[in-house]
Structure 1
Amino acid sequence: MTEDEVTAWALGAAAGDADAFEHVFRALHNDVRRYVTALADDFQMADDLVQETFLRAVSTVHLFQGRGSARAWILTIARRTVVDSLRRAASRPRLADTSDWQHVAECSQPRDLPGFDEGIALMALIDSLPDARREAFVLTQVLYMPYDDAARTVSCPVGTIRSRVSRARTTLWAMLDDRAEPALAC
């Protein structure tokens, strides 16, 4: 589905078409999930954050005016949802019995799936990028969002997004050249 079609459905939903938002949801669900997962760095919370994003979107769709793409609008909501979640989590005490719960969770995942190790290595490389660069890289290179929409999503100039993506690429290439693969000793 094209950006224009999704935006047209969002405008239809804003005008009161009850079925139009379902099309928006179906078209953008996977992109929102990937984006939220990358930002939150928590696969367990991703589904809840995606649900919260779409609940916020459906409750405010009447305000959508189509000045930008519906995709950029929803991803902006997703970004705010993740930030709110991170702030809530930071204000609560941790309830883990181990100091390295992420390592335990990674070791409990199935490892015999095709491409699993490469996916973990790629996510570890992307996760090692500074937050701003990682966000710009995920939006433009993983979700294929146009640079101007990504800039609107994170509220910064397009040139800043381009610079962050370029620096993220340079960093990733350097890590690959140095064969700095993250170790997952389980």
Structure 2
Amino acid sequence: MDPSLPTLRRSSDTAARADESVTALALAAREGDADAVERFVRALHRDVLRYVAHLCADPQAVDDLTQDTFLRALGSLHRFEGRSSARAWLLAIARRAVMDSYRHAATRPRRAHVPDWQPAAERAQPRGLPGFDDGVVLLDLLAALPQDRREAFVLTQLLGLPYSEAAERSDCPVGTVRSRVARARATLTGLLREAEEPAVLAA
């Protein structure tokens, strides 16, 4: 038996409990509980910020798009019925907000070169905590992935969404998400090996 399975199962159970808790907050917020609204936003703010940062090509727009996501969500909370987790529902809104911003940007001329998403993603990471340097390295590696594989990897491996919900967010079959994640892992593994080779040779 694979010794990693109990750890993975515990991690999955923890994520499921967290999703249930946040979904309960969303349902309470829908009924007008002001405290639940605040706790709902606070619980998911970091996930939305990170997801938007991974999708958005303009670091300056990340905070605005995150705020727009929550404004849209709170405005349509009365339609949320809890059939999916509140986190998956909110990330779908975040994705639409980013796509809408792309469409809006395409209708007006650009005045300057738009930098990539990485600086914004780095700002979205908590600093001064154990593992922060590893997080920055991971962001550098993720930058080498095609956008579709990066999104699938972020949704399932960093944000912990089930493959079925990641497929809904990405508007593609579950098998495609699994394939993208597998290819992303293979690419990341190869990049890590390449990065380690100079250190081994130096030693």
Asked if TM exceeds 0.5, the reply is yes
Partner in structure 1 of residue 171 of structure 2? 155
Partner in structure 2 of residue 43 of structure 1? 59
- Note the 1:118-157 alignment, pairs <5 A: 121-157=137-173
Residue among 10, 20, 34 paired with 2:36: 20
What whole-Å deviation, never above 9, does each CA across 1:10-42 have from its counterpart, x for those lacking one? 112223333322221111000000000000033
Counterpart check, 1:102 vs 2:115: yes
Aligned equivalents of 2:135, 2:42: Cα separation in 1 = 25
- Note the 1:161-172 alignment, pairs <5 A: 161-172=177-188
Aligned equivalents of 2:166, 2:187: Cα separation in 1 = 20
Aligned equivalents of 2:78, 2:33: Cα separation in 1 = 10
Structure 1 residues 82 and 73, CA, compared in 2 at 3 Å: closer, same or farther?
A: same
Aligned equivalents of 2:132, 2:27: Cα separation in 1 = 39
- RMSD between aligned alpha carbons? 2.7
Structure 1 residues 54 and 163, CA, compared in 2 at 3 Å: closer, same or farther?
A: same
List alignment gaps of at least 5 residues for structure 2: 1-16, 197-203
- Note the 1:25-104 alignment, pairs <5 A: 25-96=41-112, 102=115
Overall identity of the aligned pairs, in %: 55
Larger mean CA deviation between 55-64 and 131-140 belongs to 131-140
Residue among 193, 198, 201 paired with 1:177: 193
Aligned equivalents of 1:102, 1:56: Cα separation in 2 = 26
Relative to its length, the structure with more helix (as a share) is 2
Aligned positions, number: 171
List alignment gaps of at least 5 residues for structure 1: 181-186
Letter of the structure 1 residue corresponding to residue 104 of structure 2: R
TM-score (norm 1): 0.79
Q: Is the 8 A contact 2:57 2:115 kept in 1?
A: no
